Amino acid sequence: MKLWAIIAIVASVILIGFIFYSFKVKDIEMPKYRVIKQLGEVEIREYPSLILAKTSLKKSDYDQEGSNGFRTVAGYIFGGNQSQQKIAMTAPVIMSMGDSASMSFVMPSEYNMQDLPTPSNNQVKLIQESPKILAAIRFGGYSSTEKIKKYAEQLYAELKKNNLETRGELLYMGYNAPWDVTNRRNEVAIELVKVE
């Protein structure tokens, strides 16, 4: 058998493995939010209190900072903590897109602040977030700074049309592993002051 044929078979097996793994990890934990109302393509959601492992970023540019932030926080859940404890991956990964840009992983709901090990890297902080109302809009495919900006404009336009006041910074929320090629889920979201 020729070398190119062997390479093609190996590549096919790897691709099938990645596709299988993609479907297998779809059951990872996500925050249990409640949809309050729908405004066109925008969902208004009520989120419970969440614990985040968070790191600061130099700028709020997804293309330039997304990978660095992801690696820093991923180090914590892959054992980069004082107990060398592995913590299950959850979705979404959250990037705060404002002046104080950051990348966060949501900690699994089985943990409270006292249960979580201290990060080894002092760039990672554990934060308890209070319950929030978020407005979110979903889009597919791979993310980019340009796509996030496009959907953020759509989100802000819908909220302005409905006279909804926002606070805080724009959030990008990514739900997929980099090797997921189909059914990719991305969102941009922002906190609302109140919802009638």
CATH of the domain at 78: 3.20.80.10
Position 165 scores a pLDDT of: 96
The answer to whether residue 122 is domain-embedded is yes
Number of domains in the chain: 1
The answer to whether residue 12 is domain-embedded is no
pLDDT in tens, the chain (196 residues): 566 656 656 555 454 444 444 444 457 899 999 999 999 999 999 999 999 999 999 888 888 888 889 999 999 999 999 999 999 999 999 999 988 899 999 999 999 999 999 999 999 999 999 999 999 999 999 999 999 999 999 999 999 999 999 999 999 999 998 778 888 999 999 999 977 7
The answer to whether residue 43 is domain-embedded is yes
The answer to whether residue 2 is domain-embedded is no
Position 23 scores a pLDDT of: 43
The answer to whether residue 149 is domain-embedded is yes
Position 20 scores a pLDDT of: 45
* pTM (two decimals): 0.83
The answer to whether residue 159 is domain-embedded is yes
The two tokens of residue 19 are 């596709």
How far is 109 from 66, CA to CA, in rounded Å?
24
The answer to whether residue 8 is domain-embedded is no
How far is 72 from 53, CA to CA, in rounded Å?
10
Range of the domain at 172: 30-192
The answer to whether residue 23 is domain-embedded is no
